Homo-oligomer: A and B are copies of this chain.
Amino acid sequence: MVLPTYQAPVLMVDGVVLQLIDERLHVLLIQRANEPFRGMYALPGGYIVAGETTHFSLARILSQKADICVEKMAIIEQLYTFDTVARDPRGHAVSVTYMGLGYQLAFTGQPDAHNPRFVAVDELPELAYDHAEIIAYAHDRLKSKMNYTNVVFALLPKRFTLTQLQSAYEAILQRQLDKRNFRKKFLSLDTITPTNEYFRDGAHRPAQLYEFNVQRLANFAKDF
């Protein structure tokens, strides 16, 4: 292959891995081991190697730096490519960013040098680089997708109650929804099916469990 003779920007990938914990949206962060921004929290990310797709590079990096397995995520989707010259103080770095969504994502091994943890998106610490902007971008994208796709399936267990479903919507859209209208509308979308199982949890009526009809991203027939 012919290499360009001039100097190219460095190509990187960063991942915004989101999940719901205690009915709040959390994002995966690592603590930077080196300068710049040493000690600060940042999105997991790293260099792309020729022959690796950006998606594959991200999987490798998430596994190495954040101890998180991409296979466990239900959706990974490319977000945007951030390329401002000043975003990395070391030099021009172009970063392809991804959003990953999952349920009960857990660290597979021992505590790691990068100290990965999930942090609530409404309580973020100061972040390295332009990573706060990238997380906001991911959150916005997710908010939009909640309105016209079944993306929420990626954040819930296989079986869930309507209350859980509504709570996921409320956590991500950051506003309260009317229970009766929510149920009526969602059931009219033909996206979920009731099972014969019930979830018992404390001194109150048990909740019926539902399943998604498809476990991959699809658009609603109509808007949500």
CB-CB under 8 A for A48 and B8, given A78-B81, A81-B78, A85-B53: yes
CB-contact partner of A47 in B4, B53, B54, B85, under 8 A: B4
Query: A9, B48: Cβ atoms under 8 Å?
Result: yes
CB-CB under 8 A for A92 and B11, given A78-B80, A78-B81, A81-B78: no
Interface majority SS (helix, strand, loop, mixed), chain A: loop
Q: Does A214 contact B (CB under 8 A)?
A: no
Q: Does A203 contact B (CB under 8 A)?
A: no
Number of copies of this protein chain within its complex:
2
Q: Does A101 contact B (CB under 8 A)?
A: no
- Using Cβ atoms and an 8 Å threshold, which residues of chain B touch A92? 1, 50-51
CA distance A51 to B7 in the complex (A): 9
What is the interface of chain A, defined by CB distance below 8 A to chain B? 1-4, 6-11, 47-55, 78, 80-81, 83-85, 90-92, 94, 96, 223
19 new A-B pairs (CB below 8 Å) besides A51-B92, A53-B83, A78-B81? A1-B10, A1-B92, A2-B90, A2-B91, A6-B49, A8-B48, A8-B49, A8-B50, A9-B50, A9-B52, A11-B94, A50-B91, A50-B92, A53-B84, A54-B81, A54-B83, A81-B81, A81-B96, A94-B96
Q: List 30 A-B contacts (CB under 8 A).
A: A1-B91, A2-B90, A2-B91, A3-B10, A4-B10, A6-B49, A6-B50, A7-B50, A8-B10, A8-B11, A8-B48, A9-B48, A9-B51, A9-B52, A10-B50, A11-B11, A11-B94, A48-B94, A50-B91, A51-B85, A51-B92, A53-B84, A54-B81, A54-B83, A54-B94, A78-B81, A81-B81, A83-B96, A94-B96, A223-B223
